[in-house]
Structure 1
Amino acid sequence: MTIERPATTFSNDEVGMLRSFLDHYRATIRLQASGLTDAQLDQPLAPSDLTLGGMLKHLAFVEDWWFSYHLAANEPAPPWDTAPWDDDADWDWHSAAGETHAELDALLAAAIERSDACLDAALAEDPDLGRPVARPRPLEKGQTATIRWVLVHMVEEYARHAGHADLIRQSIDGATDV
Protein backbone atom coordinates (compact mmCIF):
# COMPACT_ATOMS: atom_id res chain seq x y z
CA MET A 1 0.00 0.00 0.00
CA THR A 2 1.43 3.33 -1.06
CA ILE A 3 0.06 6.45 0.54
CA GLU A 4 1.03 9.81 -0.84
CA ARG A 5 0.65 12.84 1.37
CA PRO A 6 -0.41 15.83 -0.70
CA ALA A 7 1.07 19.18 0.22
CA THR A 8 -1.30 21.86 1.39
CA THR A 9 -1.93 24.72 -0.98
CA PHE A 10 -0.69 28.21 -0.18
CA SER A 11 -3.13 29.98 -2.45
CA ASN A 12 -6.58 28.66 -3.25
CA ASP A 13 -10.27 29.42 -2.83
CA GLU A 14 -11.85 28.54 0.52
CA VAL A 15 -13.07 25.07 -0.49
CA GLY A 16 -9.75 24.22 -2.13
CA MET A 17 -7.78 25.40 0.89
CA LEU A 18 -9.90 23.44 3.39
CA ARG A 19 -9.84 20.31 1.25
CA SER A 20 -6.06 20.52 0.78
CA PHE A 21 -5.53 20.60 4.55
CA LEU A 22 -8.08 17.82 5.10
CA ASP A 23 -6.45 15.61 2.45
CA HIS A 24 -3.00 16.31 3.90
CA TYR A 25 -4.05 15.25 7.40
CA ARG A 26 -6.00 12.24 6.15
CA ALA A 27 -2.82 10.97 4.50
CA THR A 28 -0.75 11.86 7.57
CA ILE A 29 -2.83 9.58 9.79
CA ARG A 30 -2.72 6.73 7.29
CA LEU A 31 1.06 7.14 6.96
CA GLN A 32 1.51 7.01 10.74
CA ALA A 33 -0.11 3.57 10.72
CA SER A 34 1.71 2.32 7.61
CA GLY A 35 4.39 -0.31 7.97
CA LEU A 36 3.17 -1.48 11.37
CA THR A 37 2.03 -4.99 12.20
CA ASP A 38 -1.52 -5.70 13.27
CA ALA A 39 -0.29 -6.18 16.84
CA GLN A 40 1.49 -2.82 16.78
CA LEU A 41 -1.74 -1.12 15.68
CA ASP A 42 -3.31 -2.42 18.92
CA GLN A 43 -0.50 -1.03 21.09
CA PRO A 44 -1.50 1.98 23.25
CA LEU A 45 0.73 4.64 24.73
CA ALA A 46 0.11 4.45 28.48
CA PRO A 47 -1.72 5.78 30.36
CA SER A 48 -4.08 6.28 27.41
CA ASP A 49 -5.95 3.43 25.75
CA LEU A 50 -5.70 5.11 22.31
CA THR A 51 -4.22 2.96 19.56
CA LEU A 52 -3.42 3.70 15.94
CA GLY A 53 -5.85 0.97 14.89
CA GLY A 54 -8.58 2.55 17.00
CA MET A 55 -7.74 5.91 15.50
CA LEU A 56 -8.18 4.60 11.94
CA LYS A 57 -11.60 3.18 12.83
CA HIS A 58 -12.64 6.27 14.78
CA LEU A 59 -11.75 8.54 11.87
CA ALA A 60 -13.68 6.29 9.46
CA PHE A 61 -16.68 6.74 11.76
CA VAL A 62 -16.21 10.51 12.00
CA GLU A 63 -15.97 10.76 8.20
CA ASP A 64 -19.28 8.90 7.80
CA TRP A 65 -20.91 10.75 10.71
CA TRP A 66 -20.27 14.22 9.38
CA PHE A 67 -20.24 13.82 5.60
CA SER A 68 -22.66 10.97 4.96
CA TYR A 69 -25.05 11.18 7.92
CA HIS A 70 -25.16 14.94 8.52
CA LEU A 71 -24.16 16.52 5.22
CA ALA A 72 -25.94 14.11 2.88
CA ALA A 73 -28.62 12.83 5.32
CA ASN A 74 -27.81 9.17 4.64
CA GLU A 75 -28.63 6.55 7.25
CA PRO A 76 -25.65 5.02 9.07
CA ALA A 77 -23.87 2.36 7.06
CA PRO A 78 -22.23 -0.79 8.39
CA PRO A 79 -20.59 -1.19 10.82
CA TRP A 80 -21.97 1.98 12.44
CA ASP A 81 -25.63 1.02 11.99
CA THR A 82 -25.39 -1.92 14.41
CA ALA A 83 -22.67 -0.65 16.74
CA PRO A 84 -23.54 -0.97 20.46
CA TRP A 85 -23.06 2.73 21.19
CA ASP A 86 -25.20 2.53 24.36
CA ASP A 87 -22.87 -0.13 25.79
CA ASP A 88 -19.64 1.62 24.76
CA ALA A 89 -19.63 5.26 23.66
CA ASP A 90 -16.07 4.69 22.39
CA TRP A 91 -16.98 1.54 20.47
CA ASP A 92 -15.28 2.83 17.33
CA TRP A 93 -11.96 3.03 19.21
CA HIS A 94 -12.30 -0.19 21.19
CA SER A 95 -13.73 -2.46 18.50
CA ALA A 96 -10.65 -2.01 16.31
CA ALA A 97 -8.66 -4.36 18.55
CA GLY A 98 -7.93 -7.53 16.65
CA GLU A 99 -8.82 -6.12 13.23
CA THR A 100 -6.07 -6.15 10.65
CA HIS A 101 -4.25 -3.12 9.34
CA ALA A 102 -5.61 -3.90 5.87
CA GLU A 103 -9.21 -3.97 7.18
CA LEU A 104 -8.86 -0.76 9.16
CA ASP A 105 -7.08 1.16 6.40
CA ALA A 106 -9.65 -0.03 3.84
CA LEU A 107 -12.48 1.09 6.15
CA LEU A 108 -10.95 4.58 6.42
CA ALA A 109 -10.11 4.81 2.71
CA ALA A 110 -13.70 3.84 1.78
CA ALA A 111 -15.11 6.37 4.26
CA ILE A 112 -12.92 9.10 2.79
CA GLU A 113 -14.10 8.21 -0.70
CA ARG A 114 -17.76 8.37 0.40
CA SER A 115 -17.13 11.65 2.21
CA ASP A 116 -15.58 13.24 -0.85
CA ALA A 117 -18.53 12.08 -2.98
CA CYS A 118 -21.02 13.54 -0.46
CA LEU A 119 -19.13 16.84 -0.36
CA ASP A 120 -18.84 17.00 -4.15
CA ALA A 121 -22.58 16.40 -4.51
CA ALA A 122 -23.47 19.01 -1.90
CA LEU A 123 -21.21 21.63 -3.46
CA ALA A 124 -22.50 20.85 -6.97
CA GLU A 125 -26.04 21.43 -5.70
CA ASP A 126 -25.14 24.69 -3.94
CA PRO A 127 -21.56 25.89 -3.38
CA ASP A 128 -22.47 28.07 -0.37
CA LEU A 129 -20.36 26.83 2.55
CA GLY A 130 -22.51 28.85 4.95
CA ARG A 131 -25.63 26.78 4.41
CA PRO A 132 -26.69 24.21 7.00
CA VAL A 133 -26.00 20.56 6.35
CA ALA A 134 -28.96 18.39 5.29
CA ARG A 135 -29.34 16.92 8.78
CA PRO A 136 -28.43 19.83 11.05
CA ARG A 137 -27.11 19.01 14.45
CA PRO A 138 -27.62 21.72 17.03
CA LEU A 139 -24.25 22.91 18.25
CA GLU A 140 -24.99 25.51 20.91
CA LYS A 141 -27.54 28.25 21.48
CA GLY A 142 -29.59 27.55 18.37
CA GLN A 143 -26.67 27.28 15.97
CA THR A 144 -26.47 24.40 13.54
CA ALA A 145 -23.59 22.91 11.63
CA THR A 146 -22.88 24.37 8.21
CA ILE A 147 -20.82 22.84 5.42
CA ARG A 148 -17.98 25.22 6.37
CA TRP A 149 -18.20 24.10 10.01
CA VAL A 150 -17.99 20.43 8.97
CA LEU A 151 -14.91 21.06 6.84
CA VAL A 152 -13.14 23.10 9.52
CA HIS A 153 -14.13 20.57 12.19
CA MET A 154 -12.74 17.70 10.13
CA VAL A 155 -9.43 19.51 9.65
CA GLU A 156 -9.34 20.06 13.42
CA GLU A 157 -10.27 16.42 14.10
CA TYR A 158 -7.50 15.06 11.91
CA ALA A 159 -4.89 17.60 13.06
CA ARG A 160 -5.58 16.79 16.72
CA HIS A 161 -5.33 13.06 16.11
CA ALA A 162 -2.19 13.51 13.97
CA GLY A 163 -0.47 14.73 17.13
CA HIS A 164 -1.70 11.69 19.02
CA ALA A 165 -0.54 9.46 16.17
CA ASP A 166 2.96 11.00 16.26
CA LEU A 167 3.32 10.10 19.94
CA ILE A 168 1.87 6.61 19.62
CA ARG A 169 4.00 5.78 16.57
CA GLN A 170 7.19 7.02 18.23
CA SER A 171 6.42 4.90 21.30
CA ILE A 172 6.01 1.80 19.11
CA ASP A 173 9.09 1.90 16.92
CA GLY A 174 10.84 5.21 17.49
CA ALA A 175 9.75 6.64 14.14
CA THR A 176 9.65 10.43 14.17
CA ASP A 177 9.70 11.27 10.49
CA VAL A 178 6.67 9.43 9.15
Structure 2
Amino acid sequence: MSRLPRMTQLDDQGRPEPPLEADEAGTLLGFLDFQRATLEWKCAGLDASGLRATVGASPMTLGGLLKHLAYVEDDWFSRWLHGQERRSPWDTVDWEADPDWDWRSAAGDPPEELRALWRDAVARSRSLTEDALAAGGLEQRARRTWPDGRAPSLRWILVHMIEEYARHNGHADLLRESVDGLTGE
Protein backbone atom coordinates (compact mmCIF):
# COMPACT_ATOMS: atom_id res chain seq x y z
CA MET A 1 0.00 0.00 0.00
CA SER A 2 1.43 3.36 -1.01
CA ARG A 3 2.33 5.85 1.71
CA LEU A 4 1.81 8.83 -0.57
CA PRO A 5 -1.57 10.59 -0.52
CA ARG A 6 -3.85 9.84 -3.46
CA MET A 7 -4.62 13.51 -4.12
CA THR A 8 -1.25 15.14 -4.60
CA GLN A 9 -1.11 18.88 -5.11
CA LEU A 10 1.34 19.95 -7.81
CA ASP A 11 3.24 23.23 -7.85
CA ASP A 12 3.68 25.49 -10.90
CA GLN A 13 6.48 23.24 -12.22
CA GLY A 14 4.40 20.06 -11.86
CA ARG A 15 6.23 18.85 -8.75
CA PRO A 16 4.25 17.05 -6.03
CA GLU A 17 4.06 19.20 -2.92
CA PRO A 18 5.13 17.30 0.20
CA PRO A 19 2.07 16.53 2.33
CA LEU A 20 1.28 18.97 5.13
CA GLU A 21 -0.25 16.19 7.22
CA ALA A 22 1.15 12.68 6.93
CA ASP A 23 2.87 10.10 9.06
CA GLU A 24 6.67 10.09 9.21
CA ALA A 25 7.09 7.75 6.24
CA GLY A 26 4.62 9.73 4.12
CA THR A 27 6.39 12.98 4.97
CA LEU A 28 9.85 11.61 4.12
CA LEU A 29 8.62 10.07 0.88
CA GLY A 30 6.82 13.30 -0.03
CA PHE A 31 9.98 15.36 0.38
CA LEU A 32 12.07 12.81 -1.52
CA ASP A 33 9.61 12.81 -4.42
CA PHE A 34 9.63 16.63 -4.43
CA GLN A 35 13.43 16.60 -4.71
CA ARG A 36 13.31 13.96 -7.46
CA ALA A 37 10.78 16.05 -9.37
CA THR A 38 13.00 19.12 -8.99
CA LEU A 39 15.85 17.32 -10.75
CA GLU A 40 13.48 16.15 -13.48
CA TRP A 41 12.23 19.73 -13.97
CA LYS A 42 15.80 21.09 -14.21
CA CYS A 43 16.66 18.50 -16.91
CA ALA A 44 13.37 18.72 -18.84
CA GLY A 45 13.38 19.64 -22.49
CA LEU A 46 17.16 19.74 -22.89
CA ASP A 47 18.99 18.13 -25.78
CA ALA A 48 22.39 16.43 -25.55
CA SER A 49 24.21 19.76 -25.68
CA GLY A 50 22.17 21.12 -22.79
CA LEU A 51 22.75 18.00 -20.72
CA ARG A 52 26.53 18.27 -21.37
CA ALA A 53 26.88 21.97 -20.44
CA THR A 54 29.24 22.83 -17.59
CA VAL A 55 29.72 25.89 -15.39
CA GLY A 56 33.14 27.35 -14.71
CA ALA A 57 35.94 24.88 -14.09
CA SER A 58 33.65 22.09 -12.92
CA PRO A 59 33.10 19.12 -15.24
CA MET A 60 29.65 18.51 -13.66
CA THR A 61 26.71 18.33 -16.11
CA LEU A 62 22.97 17.82 -15.85
CA GLY A 63 23.39 14.54 -17.74
CA GLY A 64 26.03 13.52 -15.21
CA LEU A 65 23.60 14.39 -12.40
CA LEU A 66 20.92 12.17 -13.95
CA LYS A 67 23.31 9.24 -14.31
CA HIS A 68 24.90 9.74 -10.88
CA LEU A 69 21.53 9.94 -9.14
CA ALA A 70 20.32 6.84 -11.02
CA TYR A 71 23.38 5.07 -9.62
CA VAL A 72 22.78 6.44 -6.10
CA GLU A 73 19.11 5.32 -6.22
CA ASP A 74 20.11 1.79 -7.25
CA ASP A 75 22.99 1.66 -4.81
CA TRP A 76 21.02 2.66 -1.73
CA PHE A 77 17.67 0.99 -2.36
CA SER A 78 18.61 -2.11 -4.38
CA ARG A 79 22.11 -2.84 -3.18
CA TRP A 80 22.24 -1.55 0.41
CA LEU A 81 18.65 -1.85 1.59
CA HIS A 82 17.77 -5.12 -0.15
CA GLY A 83 21.22 -6.67 -0.57
CA GLN A 84 20.90 -7.11 -4.33
CA GLU A 85 23.89 -7.26 -6.63
CA ARG A 86 24.64 -4.33 -8.90
CA ARG A 87 22.59 -4.32 -12.09
CA SER A 88 23.43 -3.05 -15.54
CA PRO A 89 25.15 -0.72 -16.28
CA TRP A 90 26.73 -0.46 -12.82
CA ASP A 91 27.84 -4.11 -12.70
CA THR A 92 30.42 -3.75 -15.49
CA VAL A 93 32.26 -0.74 -14.05
CA ASP A 94 35.61 -0.98 -12.28
CA TRP A 95 34.67 1.57 -9.62
CA GLU A 96 38.10 1.51 -8.01
CA ALA A 97 39.81 2.38 -11.31
CA ASP A 98 37.15 4.93 -12.35
CA PRO A 99 35.19 6.18 -9.31
CA ASP A 100 33.61 8.99 -11.38
CA TRP A 101 32.45 6.73 -14.21
CA ASP A 102 28.79 7.68 -13.74
CA TRP A 103 29.61 11.38 -14.05
CA ARG A 104 32.15 11.05 -16.86
CA SER A 105 30.37 8.52 -19.06
CA ALA A 106 27.12 10.48 -19.21
CA ALA A 107 28.57 12.77 -21.88
CA GLY A 108 28.36 9.94 -24.42
CA ASP A 109 24.81 8.87 -23.56
CA PRO A 110 21.75 10.09 -25.49
CA PRO A 111 19.37 12.28 -23.43
CA GLU A 112 16.52 9.74 -23.72
CA GLU A 113 18.79 7.01 -22.35
CA LEU A 114 19.88 9.15 -19.39
CA ARG A 115 16.31 10.08 -18.53
CA ALA A 116 15.13 6.46 -18.83
CA LEU A 117 18.01 5.18 -16.69
CA TRP A 118 17.14 7.67 -13.95
CA ARG A 119 13.35 7.14 -14.16
CA ASP A 120 13.77 3.35 -14.05
CA ALA A 121 16.02 3.61 -11.00
CA VAL A 122 13.51 5.87 -9.25
CA ALA A 123 10.64 3.47 -10.03
CA ARG A 124 12.65 0.54 -8.61
CA SER A 125 13.53 2.57 -5.53
CA ARG A 126 9.89 3.44 -4.89
CA SER A 127 8.87 -0.20 -5.16
CA LEU A 128 11.72 -1.41 -2.96
CA THR A 129 10.91 1.27 -0.39
CA GLU A 130 7.29 0.13 -0.24
CA ASP A 131 8.50 -3.46 0.24
CA ALA A 132 10.78 -2.40 3.10
CA LEU A 133 8.04 -0.32 4.74
CA ALA A 134 5.70 -3.31 4.61
CA ALA A 135 8.37 -5.63 6.02
CA GLY A 136 9.71 -3.49 8.86
CA GLY A 137 8.76 0.15 8.61
CA LEU A 138 11.28 2.95 8.84
CA GLU A 139 13.29 0.91 11.35
CA GLN A 140 13.98 -1.74 8.67
CA ARG A 141 17.76 -2.21 8.55
CA ALA A 142 19.75 -2.39 5.34
CA ARG A 143 20.99 -5.88 4.44
CA ARG A 144 24.46 -4.55 3.65
CA THR A 145 26.53 -3.22 6.51
CA TRP A 146 29.44 -0.89 7.05
CA PRO A 147 32.77 -2.53 7.87
CA ASP A 148 32.04 -2.23 11.60
CA GLY A 149 28.82 -4.25 11.17
CA ARG A 150 26.35 -1.41 11.58
CA ALA A 151 23.53 -1.03 9.06
CA PRO A 152 21.58 2.13 8.33
CA SER A 153 17.81 2.12 8.77
CA LEU A 154 15.36 2.87 5.98
CA ARG A 155 14.71 6.16 7.80
CA TRP A 156 18.43 7.04 7.52
CA ILE A 157 18.51 6.07 3.84
CA LEU A 158 15.47 8.24 3.04
CA VAL A 159 16.90 11.26 4.86
CA HIS A 160 20.26 10.70 3.15
CA MET A 161 18.55 10.57 -0.26
CA ILE A 162 16.66 13.81 0.46
CA GLU A 163 20.01 15.41 1.35
CA GLU A 164 21.67 13.95 -1.76
CA TYR A 165 19.00 15.35 -4.08
CA ALA A 166 18.80 18.72 -2.32
CA ARG A 167 22.57 19.21 -2.62
CA HIS A 168 22.67 18.18 -6.27
CA ASN A 169 19.56 20.21 -7.11
CA GLY A 170 21.56 23.28 -6.10
CA HIS A 171 24.10 22.26 -8.74
CA ALA A 172 21.27 21.66 -11.21
CA ASP A 173 20.00 25.22 -10.65
CA LEU A 174 23.33 26.70 -11.70
CA LEU A 175 23.79 24.34 -14.63
CA ARG A 176 20.30 24.89 -16.03
CA GLU A 177 20.57 28.66 -15.72
CA SER A 178 23.82 28.55 -17.70
CA VAL A 179 22.12 26.58 -20.50
CA ASP A 180 19.05 28.66 -21.19
CA GLY A 181 18.44 31.05 -18.32
CA LEU A 182 15.81 28.92 -16.56
CA THR A 183 15.76 29.90 -12.91
CA GLY A 184 13.71 28.93 -9.91
CA GLU A 185 14.08 27.00 -6.70
Which TM-score applies when normalising by structure 2? 0.88
Is 1:145 the equivalent of 2:155?
Answer: no
Which letter maps to 1:132?
A: R
Tell me, what secondary structure is at the counterpart of 1:158? helix
Which of 67, 76, 80 is the matching residue for 2:77?
Answer: 67
The aligned residue for residue 135 of structure 1 is 144
Q: 1:29-108 counterparts in 2 under 5 A?
A: 29-108=39-118
Paired with 2:122 and 2:108, the residues of 1 have a C-alpha distance of 22
8 Å Cα contact 1:70/1:137 also seen in 2:
no
Supply the RMSD in Å over aligned alpha carbons.
Answer: 1.5
Q: 2: distance between equivalents of 1:157 and 1:61?
A: 12
Task: Number of aligned residue pairs: give it.
Answer: 173
What is the TM-score normalised by the length of structure 1? 0.92
Long gaps (5+) in structure 1:
none
8 Å CA contact retained: 1:6, 1:20: yes
Displacement of 1:145 in angstroms is 1.2
Which of 160, 163, 184 pairs up with 1:177?
A: 184
Amino acid at match of 1:149: W
After superposition, the C-alpha distances for 1:40-94 in whole angstroms (9 at most, x for unaligned) are: 1011111111000000000000000000001111110000000121221111111
Letter in 1 for 2:170: G
Distance (whole Å) between structure 2 residues aligned to residue 59 and residue 26 of structure 1:
9
For 1:107-156, what per-residue CA distance to the aligned partner results, in whole angstroms no more than 9, with x for missing partners? 000001111111111111122x2342111235xx7643111110000000
Deviation at 1:174, TM superposition (A): 0.9
Q: Distance in 2 between matches of 1:4 and 1:106?
A: 19
Task: Determine which of 175, 178, 181 is the counterpart of 1:168.
Answer: 175
Q: Percent identity, aligned pairs only?
A: 48
Q: Distance in 2 between matches of 1:32 and 1:95?
A: 20
- Find runs of 4+ consecutive structure 1 residues off by over 2 angstroms: 141-144
State the distance in 1 between where 2:49 and 2:22 align. Answer: 41
Given that residues 69 and 76 in structure 1 are in contact (C-alpha distance below 8 angstroms), is that contact kept between their aligned partners in structure 2? yes
In 1, Cα distance between equivalents of 2:149 and 2:88: 31
Q: What is the CA-CA distance between 1:171 and the residue it aligns to?
A: 1.0
> Structure 1 CA distance, aligned partners of 2:136 and 2:151?
18
